[in-house]
């Protein structure tokens, strides 16, 4: 009976191990990722630098779009904090650069559609950027970020949405606790050589703690003109109105145990509140001279 069982199992096992298709011959190619922040557009796997690319889905779908905190916290080598205090703005460090800043961004370069948002010493704020209009973020890490000039311990390159090929309109809203409300209207169209993309958004909140209210309005407009396949002219205009961004300040452990929602007494006495208005305009010219050469000029 043993020999009969062995004779039955051996041909069965040979048949079961015979593959219907060689899995090693199946090749699936992934779509290439072209990095634009390296000055010369190249594929990600061909760059000698550390670059992380974040797409539109990671930035907008299912996100609050209040700041870049959620997206940047997933990038290796990047540390972001202080996302809830809009008066002091988001604090970011890349591989240690910017870590000594008490608040905000220091020593890093922030670029929006190729236009620098940072001052020459690397000071920048992200509160004047509408995350709901950002389509792509590239984080350039390491010393190679020096191609952007001084104070480039790292570079965060932001790109707004591309011009639409046909008319569209989009309305979105976000609601949360402690009076959080965010509204946004986006629209765009193209006709002939002209195209336009616009966005209007409003963000407001009463805040979890006392004296932490926020009001912010953003208006973005992009106008594109392409007279030929080799020439592209873009006009970017942004207006920010932030009448209120309160700062409740820090508390001692005794104050936290007593009432963690209270504001620091000095912040109440001195009314620590940020308010600002900003108008930003930029004119960008992209001119292709050949297959491997181009001219890019910006006035802002």
In the prediction, which pLDDT does 114 show? 85
In the prediction, which pLDDT does 71 show? 83
Is 101 or 127 the better-scoring residue by pLDDT? 127
Query: 3-state DSSP call for residue 48?
Result: coil
Number of domains composing the chain: 1
Tokens 């796997």 sit at which residue?
45
Nearest to 219 by CA among 159, 164, 281, 175: 281
Which CATH number do you get for residue 175?
Answer: 2.40.170.20
Distance, in Å, from the CA atom of 263 to the CA atom of 243, rounded to the nearest integer, reads: 20
Tokens 């090929």 sit at which residue?
165
| Per-residue pLDDT tens over the stretch 21-40 | 555 566 666 666 666 665 55
Is 129 or 23 the better-scoring residue by pLDDT? 129
Phi, psi dihedral angles at 24 (to 5 degrees): -70, -20
Tell me the percentage of the chain whose pLDDT exceeds 70.
Answer: 82
Nearest to 108 by CA among 65, 74, 142: 142
In the prediction, which pLDDT does 199 show? 94
Flag whether 8 is in a domain.
Answer: no
In the prediction, which pLDDT does 24 show? 55
Flag whether 17 is in a domain.
Answer: no
Q: Which domain does 221 fall in, by range?
A: 44-299
Distance, in Å, from the CA atom of 179 to the CA atom of 204, rounded to the nearest integer, reads: 7
Flag whether 206 is in a domain.
Answer: yes
164 strand-pairing partners: none
Distance, in Å, from the CA atom of 250 to the CA atom of 280, rounded to the nearest integer, reads: 33
- pTM, 2 dp: 0.77
What b/e sequence results for 269-285 when a residue is b if at least 16 CB atoms lie within 10 Å of its CB, and e otherwise?
eeebebeeeeeeebebe
Between 34-38, 131-135, 195-199, 206-210, the lowest mean confidence (pLDDT) is in 34-38
Flag whether 25 is in a domain.
Answer: no
Flag whether 34 is in a domain.
Answer: no
Nearest to 276 by CA among 127, 167, 169, 161: 127
CB of 278 within 8 A of CB of 298? no
| Per-residue pLDDT tens over the stretch 259-278 | 999 999 999 999 999 898 99
How many other CB atoms are found less than 10 A from the CB of residue 154? 29
């Amino acid at each position: 009976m043993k020999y009969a069982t062995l004779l039955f199992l051996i041909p069965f096992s040979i048949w079961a191990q015979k593959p219907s298709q060689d899995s090693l011959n199946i090749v699936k190619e992934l779509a290439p990722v072209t990095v634009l922040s390296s000055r010369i557009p190249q594929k990600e796997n061909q760059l000698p630098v550390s670059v992380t690319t974040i797409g539109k889905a990671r930035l907008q779908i299912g996100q609050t779009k209040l700041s870049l905190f959620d997206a940047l916290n997933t990038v290796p080598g990047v540390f972001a904090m202080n996302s809830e205090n809009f008066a002091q703005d988001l604090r970011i460090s890349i591989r240690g650069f910017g870590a000594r800043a008490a608040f905000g961004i220091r020593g890093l370069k922030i670029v929006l559609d190729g236009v620098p948002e940072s001052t020459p010493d690397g000071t920048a704020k992200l509160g004047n950027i509408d995350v709901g209009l950002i389509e792509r973020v590239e984080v350039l890490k390491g010393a190679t970020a020096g191609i952007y000039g001084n104070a480039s311990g790292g570079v965060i390159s932001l790109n707004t949405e591309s011009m639409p090929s046909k008319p569209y309109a989009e309305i979105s809203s976000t609601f949360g606790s402690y009076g959080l409300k965010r509204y946004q209207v986006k629209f765009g169209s193209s006709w002939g050589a002209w195209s336009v993309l616009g966005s209007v958004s409003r963000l407001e909140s009463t805040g979890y703690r006392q004296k932490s209210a926020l009001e912010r309005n953003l208006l973005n407009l992009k106008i594109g003109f392409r007279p030929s396949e080799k020439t592209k002219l873009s006009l970017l205009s942004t207006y920010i109105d932030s009448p209120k961004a309160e700062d409740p300040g820090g508390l001692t452990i005794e104050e936290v145990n007593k009432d963690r929602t209270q504001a620091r007494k000095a912040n109440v006495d001195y009314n620590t509140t940020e308010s600002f208005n900003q108008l930003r305009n930029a004119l960008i010219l992209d001119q292709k001279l050949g297959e491997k050469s181009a001219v890019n000029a910006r006035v802002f």
